[in-house]
């Protein structure tokens, strides 16, 4: 057997040897199941995963930016609501409000013949407390009284639903008018939105 192998030309042996090397080189570098192609496929898969993660990260950043913007908008609304709550008395003091109305009338030298609390009306977000006043004064005094009450720190609404000439005059220089006024004060009542707002603002 060895003698037969010795008879094979050396050139032919080299041809087979280099052919084998070429076949192995091809399998390693270009065959679908070769090591290089498998490595390239793994790299391509990893690159795709990286790009997908980058895209998700970018979308996540945009979502967080939008979330922060929306949170800022809600906090601004909560702040505005708190300012409104400050203007709406959360515990209206009837005696205190009567005193305020009497003080304003006295400053304008008006005569208050009668003042009394009226009905309370519950609304969706607030409680409305009415006061009825019977006053006497000039047209100018009534207008100034309404303006002063409207400009108070508390939210008050004033309406005149009865007005006539007074049989007794308070001043010889102006016509005295007897008017029945309705003044409404507002008490804020807590709602579900307040709890939501507090949860957002505390974050």
Question: Length of the chain in residues, anyone?
Answer: 203
Residue 100 located in a structural domain: yes
Residue that the structure tokens 């008490």 belong to: 187
Distance from C-alpha of 94 to C-alpha of 136, rounded to nearest angstrom: 22
Residue 171 located in a structural domain: yes
**Residue 110, domain extent:** 94-188
Residue 4 located in a structural domain: no
Instruction: Provide DSSP, 33-54.
Output: TSHHHHHHHHHHHHHHHHHHHH
Residue 51 located in a structural domain: no
Residue 197 located in a structural domain: no
Q: What per-residue confidence (pLDDT) applies to 203? A: 52
Residue 154 located in a structural domain: yes
Q: In total, how many domains does the chain have?
A: 1
CB-based contacts of 112, cutoff 8 Å, min separation 6: 101, 102, 105, 133, 134, 135
Phi/psi at 183 (nearest 5 deg)?
A: -115, 130
Q: What per-residue confidence (pLDDT) applies to 59? A: 85
Q: Is residue 181 over pLDDT 60?
A: yes
Q: Is residue 18 over pLDDT 80?
A: no
Q: What percent of the chain has pLDDT over 70?
A: 61
Q: Which of 177, 203, 190, 200 has its CA nearest to residue 78?
A: 200
Q: Is residue 184 over pLDDT 70?
A: yes
Residue 127 near residue 174 (C-beta atoms within 8 A): no
Give the residue, 32 or 184, on which the prediction is more confident. Answer: 184
Q: What is the CATH number of the domain that holds 109?
A: 3.30.70.60
Q: What percent of the chain has pLDDT over 90?
A: 6
Residue 164 located in a structural domain: yes
CB-based contacts of 130, cutoff 8 Å, min separation 6: 117, 118, 119, 120, 121, 182, 183, 184
Which tens digit of pLDDT belongs to each residue from 94-151?
Answer: 788 888 889 999 999 999 999 988 888 887 777 788 889 899 988 888 889 888 888 8
Residue 34 located in a structural domain: no
Residue 158 near residue 144 (C-beta atoms within 8 A): no
Distance from C-alpha of 151 to C-alpha of 156, rounded to nearest angstrom: 8
């Amino acid at each position: 057997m060895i003698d037969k192998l010795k008879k094979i030309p050396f050139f032919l042996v080299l041809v087979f040897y280099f052919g084998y090397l070429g076949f192995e080189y091809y399998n390693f570098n270009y065959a679908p199941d070769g090591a290089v192609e498998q490595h390239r496929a793994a790299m391509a898969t990893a690159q795709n995963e990286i790009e997908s993660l980058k895209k998700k990260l970018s979308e996540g950043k945009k979502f967080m930016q939008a979330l922060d913007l929306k949170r800022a908008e809600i906090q601004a609304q909560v702040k505005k609501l708190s300012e409104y709550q400050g203007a709406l008395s959360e515990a209206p003091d009837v005696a205190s409000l009567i005193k305020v109305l009497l003080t304003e009338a006295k400053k304008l030298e008006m005569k208050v013949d009668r003042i009394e609390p009226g009905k309370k009306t519950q609304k969706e977000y607030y409680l409305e407390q009415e006061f009825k006043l019977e006053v006497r004064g000039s047209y100018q005094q009534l207008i100034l009284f309404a303006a002063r009450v409207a400009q108070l720190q508390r939210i008050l609404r004033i309406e005149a639903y009865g007005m006539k000439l007074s049989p007794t005059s308070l001043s010889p220089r102006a016509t005295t008018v007897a008017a029945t006024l309705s003044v409404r004060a507002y008490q804020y009542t807590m709602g579900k939105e307040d709890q939501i707002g507090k949860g957002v603002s505390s974050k």
